[in-house]
Amino acid sequence: MRREVPLIITILVGTVLIISVFIPPLESLGESFTLFFDIIAVFAFFLGGGNLVRVHVLKLAKKKRDWPFSIVTLVGFGVMLAAGLFKIGNPGDIAASVTAEGSLFNMIYRNVFVPLGSTMYALLAFFVASASYRAFRAKNREATILLVAAFIILLGSTPFGAWLTIWMPESMSILEIPNLAVWIMSSPNMAGQRAIMIGIGLGVVSMSLRLILGIERSYLGEDGA
């Protein structure tokens, strides 16, 4: 019961979805299953939220290390949840979008969520720069190629890169750094990306087959193998 039912569900759903591609009347089944998937994914969000509250309440109750910050998480979660679910401050009625301008939800999104998220990602620029300083030593031919490609792409996106090669004649315009950067992105980079994508495609197809045929069972947990 604990292993068989999940296996049957996976095999049935996977097989039906593949077959539906070849039988036009069943095509809507694929759309319905995608919608089912989205609905279950929302429950997964609820699960994530519930788990977050549980973890931080436990941390608070046991006064573990950095427990005062759990209050911040819980308050942030609670306020945003209330603002979103009850549409606090929404200018329209209940039919208005949850992200409508002027609502508390939108206010928190623009002034808390966006600044925090984009600064976190912006911070990565410093860490990437420091990591690349250590990693990007032109020790061999491959590392040099990587370094030169990255350098041209970086330089090609700046006015300085354009200024450096502005003297190039029209007949050699591909050697202007911005054009060279575009060419690298659209030619060798695309070739490499394509080779990787073909590899990923084959990998996903073989993994999907393993799952549908019941060979891959690791998602069932330890006692499901």
Site for other proteins in 105-164 (CB under 8 A): 105, 107-126, 128-129, 132, 141-143, 145-154, 157
Residue 64 CB, nearest distance to other proteins (Å)?
Answer: 13
Question: In the numeric block, which tokens belong to residue 176?
Answer: 């202007």
122 or 159: CB nearest other proteins: 122
**Does 2 help bind other proteins (rule: CB under 8 A)?**
yes
Residue 166 CB, nearest distance to other proteins (Å)?
Answer: 14
Q: 101, exposed or middle or buried, with CB in 10 Å at 0-12, 13-18, 19+?
A: exposed
Q: Which of 122, 145, 125, 123 lies closest to 133 in space, CA to CA? A: 125
Residue 223 CB, nearest distance to other proteins (Å)?
Answer: 9
Residue 173 three-state SS? helix
**Does 74 help bind other proteins (rule: CB under 8 A)?**
yes
d(CA 223, CA 217) in angstroms, rounded, equals 10
24 or 119: CB nearest other proteins: 119
Residue 99 three-state SS? coil
Of 25-54, binders to other proteins (CB under 8 A) are 30, 32-52, 54
